[in-house]
Amino acid sequence: MIRYIVRRLFYGLITIWIISVVIFSIIHMLPGDPIQLMFGKTPNPERIAIVRSFYGLDKPVISQYGLWLANILRGNFGVSIVSGQLVTELVLPRISSTLLLTFAGLLFSICIAFPSGIAAAVHHNTWKDLSLTSISLILISIPEFWIGIVYMMVFSVWLGILPTSGYVSISESLVGFARIVFLPALTVASVQAAQTTRMVRTNILEIMRLDYITLMRSFGVKEKRLLNVHVFKNVLIPVLTQIGMQAGALMGGVIIIERVFTYPGLGLLMMRALQDRDYPVLQACIMVFALVYVVFNLIVDILYCVINPKIRY
């Protein structure tokens, strides 16, 4: 078990390093000079040279990457080109906000998907199955931002029970935070829940047709026990894979949803940094997203071993 986890952790570190190379290369190929944007239409060449030297932008690209990577390993993401603040001071407060939104969306997705998928499989080819699969297909086909706008219209404009924007820290008021995060979390969870529902339904139907299930039925094993003990455990492996992939998709979806709901998270900060060509902040945000994605997949790999110990071999 320990060797399996260490091996997966090693692969995760290599993945993060490759991502760092790709991120640094792509960002430095973006058009536009952030230093010239900082000084406006009539820049002073001497000041531009001084500022470029301060941020290390006058060095070769390979030297810039080596210096940037060394600073990251020490926990130093540099200084924002736009605001002059430390990048860690800008990024760290927003990580918790985005992670809370992501976890809330993932929790909503799981709570919706598993009961819906099981109900659709148990009532196969009935009106319940048709209704659940139709709703899932509709949600998959609609963009997330449009779903968010619909939720805002229903819960905020028509019913007037939930706010459309703003932020309340969870340490200040748990109820206030829940009211703020409910609509964004439900929005990012809708599409993911629809996909997971269809996967749960499909896998249950496939397993229920296998020979060993037919044999257990012939021995008089009840359907409820078959589903809870023998079928559900085998369904968890492919569904966990789906959830692990959804974790990264949720982080990507959060970027758009934060913009729609003006939620002060990492995605909103990253979009502003992209508009301002604030390279240090942009690189830090993308690295955090990549790190969270790798951690989610590492957790899924460990859960594989818990569900099926044969996988570790």
- State the Cα–Cα distance between residues 67 and 62, nearest whole angstrom: 9
Q: Which residue has the higher pLDDT, 153 or 40?
A: 153
User: pTM to 2 decimals?
Assistant: 0.78
Tell me the average pLDDT across 144-156.
Answer: 88
Asked if the model's pLDDT at residue 252 lies above 70, the reply is no
Q: How confident is the model at residue 308 (pLDDT cuts 50, 70, 90)?
A: low
- State the Cα–Cα distance between residues 22 and 187, nearest whole angstrom: 30
Closest CA to 182 of 158, 209, 159, 148: 148
Asked if the model's pLDDT at residue 161 lies above 70, the reply is yes
- State the Cα–Cα distance between residues 171 and 57, nearest whole angstrom: 40
Please give the mean pLDDT across all residues of the chain. Answer: 81
- State the Cα–Cα distance between residues 1 and 99, nearest whole angstrom: 28
Tell me the average pLDDT across 169-190.
Answer: 86
Q: How confident is the model at residue 233 (pLDDT cuts 50, 70, 90)?
A: confident
Asked if the model's pLDDT at residue 234 lies above 80, the reply is no
Q: Which residue has the higher pLDDT, 79 or 242?
A: 79
Tell the CATH superfamily of the 95-276 domain.
MetI-like (1.10.3720.10)
- pLDDT number for residue 209: 82
- pLDDT number for residue 39: 67
The string of pLDDT tens digits covering residues 14-65 is: 888 888 888 888 877 776 666 666 666 666 777 777 777 777 777 777 888 8
- pLDDT number for residue 264: 85
Closest CA to 253 of 67, 23, 90, 98: 98
The DSSP-derived string for the chain is -HHHHHHHHHHHHHHHHHHHHHHHHHHHTSSS-HHHHHH-SS--HHHHHHHHHHTTTTS-HHHHHHHHHHHHHTT---B-TTT-SBHHHHHHHHHHHHHHHHHHHHHHHHHHHHHHHHHHHHTTTSHHHHHHHHHHHHHHHS-HHHHHHHHIIIIIIIS--S-SS----TTT-HHHHHHHHHHHHHHHHHHHHHHHHHHHHHHHHHHHTSHHHHHHHHTT--HHHIIIIIIHHHHHHHHHHHHHHHHHHHHHHHHHHHHHTT--SHHHHHHHHHHHT-HHHHHHHHHHHHHHHHHHHHHHHHHHHHH-GGGG-
Question: Residue 32 corresponds to which amino acid?
Answer: G
% of the chain residues with pLDDT over 70: 91
Give the range among 33-47, 78-92, 267-281 with minimum mean pLDDT: 33-47
Asked if the model's pLDDT at residue 313 lies above 70, the reply is no
